[in-house]
Amino acid sequence: MLVTFLWPLCRPRVSVGCWLAMLLLAARLGAQTDWLQFDFDGRHSGVNPFETQITSANVGDLRVLFNVTLPDVADGAPAYLSGVPTAGGKRDLLFLTTRDGRLLALDALSGATVWARQPANAPQYTTSSPAIDPNRQFVYSYGLDGRVHKFQVADGTEVTSGGWPELTTLKPQVEKGSSALSIATLPDSSATLYVANGGYLGDAGDYQGHVTAIALATGSQIVFNADCSDQAVHFTTGGSPDCPNVQSAVWSRPGVVYDAELDRILFATGNGLFDAQAGRHDWGDSVLALRPDGSSDNGEPLDAYTPTNFQFLDQGDSDLGSMAPVLLPSPAAGRFPHLAVQGGKDGHLRLLNLDNMSGEGGPGHLGGELQDLLVPQRGEVLPQPAAWTNPADGSSWVFVANDAGISGLQLVVQAGGTPQLVARWSRAAGGSSPIVADGLLFYVGGAGIGALNPLDGSTLWNDRTPAGIHWESPIVVNGRLYVTDEGSHLTAYAATGGGGGTCRPGDGTLCLLDGRLQVQVAWTNQFNGISGVGHAIRVSDSTGFFDFTDPSNIELLVKALDFGNVVKFFYGELTNLEFTITVTDMRDGTVKRYQNTPGDCGAIDETAFPAESAELVIDATTTAPAAGRCRPGPGTLCLLNRQLSASVTWHNQFDGSSGDGRAVPLSDVSGRFSFTDPSNVELVLKALPFGMVIKFFYGSLSDFEYTITLTNTLTGSVRTYHNPPGTFCGGIDDHAF
């Protein structure tokens, strides 16, 4: 069972796996972690508590796994789901919402698009991020039509019953879905989806900030309007119902935060009218608390915080709600067990007591913050900070990034139990919403993406691949780091091992030369758009095969040989599908990639890696006796229920030796030949029936001269395939028989 599926119910479990290059299918040695929504979970702390693969020991070895171009900018953060059963097999998927309203499902190991949907392309744009249902069956995305759409994770089929797609605004031309979608798992195990709406750049038009809470089990919804909160409806323009007051946008990066300990949701509003102190129903520049189903007491929140200078904030367009409340881990001791930090465009951080935000026992009052301090690096706060507990001493920290820089503040409890935030470090390189994973602080900005020591802000790693940042923020999950940028790119990173590593075999990982080389394959069927990851079949310590979907249908063969002064890498093709082979030298992290060659030949890399004498470990291979017209033997391979008989003769042009190939069946459709050493695969053959025709494929791992003789024992027809000396190319005969 997946770790994050259990996260609302149990506490820390460890995720396991091995390093992934561009095309790795993780060996599922244990539980995998999911990143289901912005900043990991409904609390939006920005912390993945289960990450163990990217560590302080290897973070400096992070390298780009892939960098792919998206159809439009994904101005937010990805969501991640492991082990999704797709048409191309089980895959780890990334989900991204683009500005033009597309939802993309991408292979997390290669960046290839698995499916994409665009329910509407007008009238405006969105900077929202998707959220995945805790049941792991559905993913939700904001549409430009003002509705949130529900899709099956495996194939993108949209759910159009039970109230879906759900209405979130009747005015999509002026009301924007800026914030990420948010999901909370409640004490009764039910789940609620929250959608926040505000206005577009410039605060123009008849918009009212509001939150729509949707019960995922029933599709029922409750609306809370930050203006005219006594009306729990979606307002119209120029009709009824409507509200005469405008703005009070809910537009922070996470939108809505769920506090599981208090069992309530929290969000902050932007500049707009505040008159609740006079008993009215407009809540501009305030932090509001509601029941988790989105309900209030006839339009009055359960609790609220409004700063005393709310009018100044409104008049100066200094939204309090430029970020959402950050729930701080409870301090070790103190009079205030439930704390949050609220920043804003005025550059202030306010420490709030969530049990009584105003200090007056309810909403509609002013002030009440426990502390008010300037952001250490100065400047307005628009990204969402991250909150982290240092496991070494239990101290609570908050990390605040903005255009001016990034800073780390520690929560301390003074004499008498009063909490206070104390700035511990600050640096000038600005960026977007930071995250924390395995004691490392990650964030992306104008200086690229980096990892910092959270205790002092020192740089541990940096890369400048991302091309400009707005709201984009990274995620770290299962040993991989992902981030999008303003150039419409998605970039993935993983640690190369930094030397001394050993390959760990798995379903998608082939280990060669005593664990020194790690081989993975990703493929795409250019004819139907399906893609996936190759499944590894180990033959010996020097050789292996990959199938794509059917284990009996070998598609690629690979071989690595140590020649004393160099390691050569060979690959042969039994396919005309697009593929990429990634080979990693675990000794030093060197990565080589190989793709289809013209004519589907395969290739030899004569200088793949430096030599390191490696003793070959030969696997014993047993063959089951075949039955039928073809008579199998040491030099005869029988295929297709013994219909076809294949044999090989070879000649070594370098020393003049020659002989017959030694056959080993792999399945009823494929087999291999060696020439001298049984562990050294030289050829792999495959025959597939396609209706009235049989296609024949052969892949080569040898540049010796050889001839393949293929006989149809039912008709007596014979085909021969000759490889001239010094040539390295297999072939496909589309009309063999």
The residues with which 377 forms a beta bridge, in sequence order, are: none
> What share of the chain in percent tops pLDDT 70?
92
- In contact, 584 and 542? CB cutoff 8 Å: no
d(CA 266, CA 328): 13
Position 335 scores a pLDDT of 86
> pLDDT tens across 62-85, in order?
989 889 999 999 999 999 999 999
Q: How far is CA 585 from CA 13, 354, 484, 560, 685, in A?
A: 31, 52, 28, 11, 28
Q: Is the pLDDT score of 318 beyond 90?
A: yes
- In contact, 345 and 322? CB cutoff 8 Å: yes
Taking alpha carbons only, the member of 220, 204, 89 closest to residue 167 is 220
Tell me the pLDDT band of 698, cut-offs 50, 70 and 90. confident
Q: Kind of pairing, strands 47-48 and 435-437?
A: parallel
Tell me the pLDDT band of 733, cut-offs 50, 70 and 90. confident
Ranges 130-134, 340-344, 593-597, 648-652: which has the least confidence: 593-597
Residue range 9-23: mean pLDDT, rounded: 29
For the chain, domains (ranges, CATH) are 3-495 (2.140.10.10), 510-610 (no CATH), 637-733 (no CATH)
CA pseudo-torsion sign 102, 103, 105, 108: positive
Give kind and range of the element (H or E) at residue 91: strand 89-97
> pLDDT tens across 188-215, in order?
999 999 999 999 998 889 999 999 999 9
Position 502 scores a pLDDT of 66
d(CA 358, CA 377): 27
Residue range 129-133: mean pLDDT, rounded: 98
Ranges 263-272, 487-496, 608-617: which has the least confidence: 608-617
Position 333 scores a pLDDT of 61
**Helix (H, G, I), strand (E, B), or coil: what is residue 197?**
strand
Residue range 660-666: mean pLDDT, rounded: 91
Tell me the pLDDT band of 575, cut-offs 50, 70 and 90. confident
| E runs forming strands in 553-691 | 554-562, 566-573, 578-585, 591-595, 603-610, 637-639, 644-651, 658-660, 662-665, 670-674, 681-690
